[in-house]
Each structure stands twice: as C-alpha cells, then as structure tokens.
C-alpha cells in the first residue's frame, strides 16, 4: 500500500512538472511572438518621410511656423512648448515622436543631444522678415530701405556667414558693432531661445537677428534696445507699441499678414523634422 502511494505521488509530481514545463514553453513562444510584434510596430512607427507624420505626436514651439504647419497634419497630436529646447527634450525622453522646427536651431539642438537626427527631407521652405505694426508704414518704409542697403553692401551676408558658414568653411570673425550710441531707441522684440538667430551668451542676447537689428538701427540713426519675451507675445508687443519691430526668425505667412506688416525678407530658411535615430 505504501509502495502504491509512493508511485501515485511520484506520478502526480511528474504530471505537475510536465504541466509546468509545458506552460513555460508556451509562455516563451508567446513572449517571442509579442517581442517580434513590438519590434515590428516600432519599425512601422518610425518617421522616415514627411508622409509618416500622419497620426504622430509632434512637438513644436508655441506660435512658430512649425506650430502652424503641424496643425495641418492629418490625425496628428500637436504638443506645444514655450521653448524649442523643451520640445527637443521631450523627444529625447520619448514623450513625442518628432519635432518640427527651423533648420538652423535644429542643427544646434542635434549637436547638443545624442540619439536624434534631422530628416533629409525638409518640411517647408520659408522667408524671414521683420514684423512691424500694421499702420506704421513710415517705419516699414525706413526698415525696408535699410534692409535693401544692407543686402546690397554685403553686411547682412557677412553677419549670416559668421554664424552659418558655408559647407567646408569655418565662418568668419565678422560681428556687427553699432556705431550710433545716442538718440531714440529702436525697441526690438525677440525670443532668445532660437540659436543662431537669437540666444543668450552669459547675460547678453546675441545672434544673427540682433546684429541685423543693430545695423538697421544705425541706418535709422537710432540705438537698438533688445527686449526678450515669449515668441507668441512678439506680434502683440509690436501691435501694442511696446516694441517697434520684431526680429526672431519670423516666417512670412498669409495668416500673420492679417495681423502685422512684414518688411522685405532678409534671408530664407526651411522647416525640418527632428526624430530619434
């Protein structure tokens, strides 16, 4: 009887062991299948072209052209940040799928963060111009004249080349220094979060737009005063008279033309897409 009990107990243990092993085997296969499925899903979710933006979570800087363009992407969720750097940080943390932003700031952000890159296909081309109050046509004419002269004498090209050198070149040491030291202020509203157009170095706001602003102010016989603020506050500041002009990598768009006047364009750029590698 004891022998029979031992045999039955052993048979029971063997059955349980076989069952557990079988279950382990099934789970392993299921895990493999799930992992393969997840990998496939990850691969299919990668953004490789502009067409892949549909249904994705897109990061933008609030009020920028990237914000405007992203809103038109079908089925996409647009996450808006006060700073472009904050959008890029969200991308590196996996909170969003990509960032739409201007090319030159994108290059700076990619150089500062591992694991992200710019897609070869640009999103859109654009022109940059100063923004001026709708009914201030006198100032608009003066700024347009100044920009025309600064383009013709090569000043704007030298300013831009010092920050954005041509491929294979190191750039120049040229930086514009304002010559007018006394007189009325030309108040320029900007957002110092947009390198190399405007950004902070220690306590100073520097960059392409700041130097162009100084050159324009010289032409007008005025002293440039730079006011840093949120990008989406600049047009309101200009229209309310808190600032005379806005220089902050402003893209000329039809929607913005309804609110503000644009000067002649002083340079062009493009919107690009930053993604994880």
Mind listing the pLDDT tens digit for each residue in 112-132? Answer: 999 999 998 888 899 999 999
128-179: pLDDT as tens digits: 999 999 999 999 999 999 999 999 999 999 999 999 987 766 666 889 999 9
Output the pTM of the full model: 0.76
User: Peptide bond before 196: cis, by omega within 30 degrees of 0?
Assistant: yes
95-117: pLDDT as tens digits: 999 999 999 999 999 999 999 99
pLDDT tops 90 at residue 259: yes
Residues 6+ apart with CB under 8 A from 13: none
CATH topology classification for 50-125:
D-Maltodextrin-Binding Protein; domain 2 (3.40.190)
* Domain range list for the chain: 50-125, 130-249
Specify the pLDDT at position 78: 96
Specify the pLDDT at position 198: 96
- Please answer whether residues 220 and 245 qualify as being in contact, where contact means their C-beta atoms are separated by less than 8 angstroms: no
Decide whether 50-125 matches 130-249 in CATH topology. Answer: yes
Arch. (CATH architecture) of 130-249: 3-Layer(aba) Sandwich (3.40)
Quote the CA–CA distance of 231 and 223 in Å, as a whole number: 23
Residues 6+ apart with CB under 8 A from 50: 119, 121, 123, 273
72-84: pLDDT as tens digits: 999 999 999 999 9
Quote the CA–CA distance of 72 and 88 in Å, as a whole number: 20
Quote the CA–CA distance of 187 and 214 in Å, as a whole number: 11
For residue 68, the tally of other CB atoms under 10 A from its CB is: 17
């Amino acid at each position: 009887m004891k022998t029979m009990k031992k045999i039955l107990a052993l048979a029971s243990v063997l059955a349980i062991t076989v069952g557990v092993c079988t279950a382990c085997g099934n789970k392993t296969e299921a895990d493999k299948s799930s992992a393969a499925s997840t990998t496939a899903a990850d691969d299919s979710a990668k953004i490789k072209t502009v067409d892949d933006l549909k249904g994705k979570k897109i990061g933008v800087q609030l009020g920028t052209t990237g914000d405007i363009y992203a809103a038109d992407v079908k089925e996409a969720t647009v996450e808006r940040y006060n700073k472009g750097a904050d959008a890029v940080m969200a991308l590196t943390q996996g909170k969003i799928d990509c960032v739409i932003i201007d090319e030159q700031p994108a290059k700076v952000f990619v150089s500062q963060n591992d694991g992200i890159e710019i897609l070869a296909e640009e999103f859109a081309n654009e022109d940059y111009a100063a923004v001026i109050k709708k009914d201030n046509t006198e100032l608009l004419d003066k700024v347009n004249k100044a920009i025309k002269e600064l383009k013709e004498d090569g000043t704007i090209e030298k300013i831009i080349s010092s920050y954005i050198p041509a491929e294979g070149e190191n750039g120049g040491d040229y930086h514009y220094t304002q010559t007018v030291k006394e007189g009325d202020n030309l108040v320029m509203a900007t957002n110092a979060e947009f390198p190399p157009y405007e950004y902070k170095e220690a306590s100073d706001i520097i960059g392409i737009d700041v130097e162009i602003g100084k050159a324009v102010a010289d032409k007008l016989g005025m002293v440039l005063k730079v006011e840093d603020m949120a990008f989406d506050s600049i047009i309101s500041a200009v229209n309310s008279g808190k600032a005379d002009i806005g220089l902050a990598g402003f893209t000329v768009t039809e929607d913005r033309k309804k609110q503000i006047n644009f000067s002649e364009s002083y340079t062009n750029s493009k919107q690009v897409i930053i993604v994880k590698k």
